[in-house]
Amino acid sequence: MPSPREILKQYWGYDTFRPLQEEIIQSVLDGRDTLALLPTGGGKSICYQVPALVQEGITIVISPLIALMKDQVENLRKLGIKAEAVFSGMYMKDIDRVLDNCVYGDIKVLYLSPERLLNFMVIERIKKMKVNLLAVDEAHCISQWGYDFRPPYLQIADIREFLPKGTPVLALTATATADVAKDIQEKLKFKNGAFFQGSFVRQNLSYSVIYVSRKEDKLVEILMNVKGTAIVYARNRRLTKDISALLRKHRINAQFYHAGLSMEERTQRQDDWKSGRTRVMVSTNAFGMGIDKPDVRVVVHMDLPASLEAYYQEAGRAGRDGKKSYAVLLYNHGDRQHLEYVHELSFPSMDVLRQTYRALSNYYQLAVGSPEGASFEFDFHQFTKTYRLDVLVTMHALRVLEQEGWLVISESFYLPSSMMFKVDRLDVYEFLLQNPNVENLLKTLLRSAQGQAFLNFVNLNESSIANFLNISIPTLQKQIGFIAKAGIIDYRPQTENPRITFLRERVPVENLSIDLEAFNFRKNRLYERITKAIQYAENKACRSLSLIHYFGEESDVTCGICDVCLGRHKVELSKEDYERYKAKILSILTNNPTEEKLLLQSFSFKHHPKVRQALAFLIDEGVLEISGQKYQLHEDA
């Protein structure tokens, strides 16, 4: 068999591995259960893809991210490596075909979403596969100590008994504290385990926390001063749109991105950003996973995430080419208040959970006793609108129902149109004779399918077919619908909605239960993570050291390039100056809310930086608030 380096050179064109990759691969090839903790951009996928090709048989990769799985499969196929994926939302016939290919074909890598491990059909096929490695991506999802716990991950260890004796497990994650790393190994039943941890230090990445009341103005200033590609993370979809519009007004080439856009829009915007046609992507946290663009010069967070794991991963998308880059957090007192609100919302009462479960059951007309495994397209906004449910409360209720193992909701992903003939060729030609108006279409479908559509579902490129026939896509779809209604084909229109899968039998709503001890444990853990995130933002300690200490890496060497190390917080307002500025500001605002630029006109220009600092402190202390674009006294002050 070829060596790992030969495989790396043959398929990826590299002569050497990145740090720790070769050691991790050798550990797996030696048959050892291995935990690899590699920070974002460390090349985790190579650690299981190379062993998959070095050995005979198939590697199974467990991943919760459907979009990432689809990208990985596509990338491997481009390299000439046979790969498949099975995830929530796929049709059973398609799953059956993929699994057969893995048992009887020469597939080298199979990606599985964790909830599919609960399926009897999947387990029975895994028993027949010659599995050489079980890789668990995003392995922190197995731990309730972690920030992204997913109950189906707890089933992964159970399938080890169905694998060939001695098959090792490779667990991979970018962000895990010492508690989470220990929990991962226990939950996956490591034997003869090995642990490799890359350093969390990013020597080329300058972290900064900027205390500012008017975040949008500061964002514009940053992007004016730091050239090159950028990502701006915002709290919600509306803000991504508003901020990108603001940037364009300042002649900064920006676009917004979130999961509510169509697949075509997301793909186009992602391609524009990767190619440099768009400089700044303003996004929710839906953007960036699996996107390896090395020359991102700055990542700006408009809001503090609820965990340092999330912040480190998102900020770490800057500077993967090793050149000087910046990770900037814009922070004020409102961030603390928002995170405290998030904690309160994240753990709804049993009444809310039961109300949500009842509404879901009614929405999909699931009778009590309906078996597990039912899967449907899920339009969240239509669902909440139908039952007049609060969007935020319902979102968190669904999250708890997921964590308790009642259901799973996939992210949005694209499934193309597909079809399969339900009758034999003779019946097709008889239908043609009776319906000459669809003759051209049917003949085109027959040619494009090359006979496969009589055995399996085949994908339809409706745009190409419509162009070939010189008809519009709606006309094409109407004709396909006519053929399907006649019973000639089974037609599945394209979709890109999330899907909801019920993992348990439908129970009477009063019988809905949760593990209260685990619920409270997760609640306390979230509070701890939020507290640590706030401390990172508010403490005046080296930002890099603060992050690596959080992840358990020992060091006392400061980075020298963050805002604290550069001394940007050493020039503080003296107590006397602060009290003087405070008195004058409060005097101005006593009767009249005022915009910042008008406030500043009451002070000489050289004092403006200190006045802005005083304003930020007054907001943090709850003395002032901003309404519209004007400062005013807080109603409780």
Domain boundaries, the chain: 4-197, 205-331+539-550, 341-413+497-524, 418-492, 575-633
The parts of the chain modelled with pLDDT lower than 50 are 571
For residue 495, give the DSSP letter. B
Place of tokens 């198939």: 58
Alpha carbon distances (Å) from 140 to 57, 177, 192, 498, 589:
27, 9, 20, 23, 49
For residue 18, give the DSSP letter. P
Helix (H) or strand (E) holding 281: strand 280-283
- Residues 238 and 294 sit within 8 Å (Cβ to Cβ): no
- Residues 512 and 401 sit within 8 Å (Cβ to Cβ): no
- CA-based end-to-end distance of the chain: 74
For residue 17, give the DSSP letter. P
Alpha carbon distances (Å) from 60 to 3, 6, 67, 183:
20, 22, 17, 21
Going by C-alpha positions, the residue among 475, 343, 443 that lies closest to residue 399 is: 343
Angle at 455 between CA 454 and CA 460, to 5 degrees: 70
Tell me the residue ranges of DSSP E strands in 113-216.
131-136, 169-173, 194-197, 205-211
Going by DSSP bridges, is the β-strand pair 489-492/594-595 parallel, antiparallel, or unpaired? unpaired
Number of neighbours of residue 324 by Cβ within 10 angstroms: 13
Alpha carbon distances (Å) from 185 to 131, 181, 542:
20, 7, 31
341-413+497-524 matches 205-331+539-550 in CATH topology: no
**Structure pTM?**
0.76
Q: Would you state the pLDDT for residue 412?
A: 60
Token pair, residue 530, equals 């939020």
Angle at 404 between CA 400 and CA 408, to 5 degrees: 75
Buried b (16+ CB within 10 A) or exposed e, 65-104: bbbbbbebbeebeeeebbbbbbbbbbeeeebebbbeebbe
Token pair, residue 599, equals 């406030």
Strand, helix or coil for residue 626:
strand
Token pair, residue 420, equals 């399969």
* In this structure, CATH architecture of domain 341-413+497-524: Orthogonal Bundle (1.10)
Alpha carbon distances (Å) from 172 to 145, 184, 310, 496:
16, 10, 16, 28
Token pair, residue 286, equals 């839906």
Q: How many helices (H) and strands (E) does the chain have?
A: 24, 22
Angle at 320 between CA 316 and CA 325, to 5 degrees: 70
Token pair, residue 479, equals 């004709």
Range 575-633 classified under CATH 2.60.40: no
Q: Chain-centre distance of CA 330, in angstroms?
A: 22
Q: DSSP alpha helices (H): ranges in 387-542? A: 391-403, 425-434, 439-449, 462-469, 473-485, 516-538
Q: Chain-centre distance of CA 287, in angstroms?
A: 7
Torsion sign over Cα 530, 609, 299, 315: negative
CATH topology of domain 4-197: Rossmann fold (3.40.50)
Distance of alpha carbon 216 from alpha carbon 223, whole angstroms = 11
Distance of alpha carbon 342 from alpha carbon 179, whole angstroms = 24
- Residues 589 and 633 sit within 8 Å (Cβ to Cβ): yes
For residue 573, give the DSSP letter. P
Strand, helix or coil for residue 533:
helix
Distance of alpha carbon 466 from alpha carbon 475, whole angstroms = 8
Q: Residue 248 carries which side chain, given as an amino acid letter? A: R
Helix (H) or strand (E) holding 77: helix 66-78
- Residues 526 and 343 sit within 8 Å (Cβ to Cβ): yes
Distance of alpha carbon 346 from alpha carbon 40, whole angstroms = 27
- Residues 188 and 33 sit within 8 Å (Cβ to Cβ): yes
Q: Residue 293 carries which side chain, given as an amino acid letter? A: K
Distance of alpha carbon 48 from alpha carbon 393, whole angstroms = 39
CATH superfamily of 205-331+539-550: P-loop containing nucleotide triphosphate hydrolases (3.40.50.300)
Going by DSSP bridges, is the β-strand pair 109-112/58-62 parallel, antiparallel, or unpaired? parallel
Alpha carbon distances (Å) from 169 to 132, 148, 502, 606, 615:
9, 20, 28, 62, 54
Return phi, psi of residue 195, to 5°: -130, 120
Distance of alpha carbon 605 from alpha carbon 495, whole angstroms = 57
**Alpha-carbon Rg for the chain in angstroms:** 28
Q: Residue 28 carries which side chain, given as an amino acid letter? A: V
Torsion sign over Cα 205, 317, 327, 35: negative
Helix (H) or strand (E) holding 253: none
Angle between helices 308-315 and 516-538 (to 10 degrees): 50
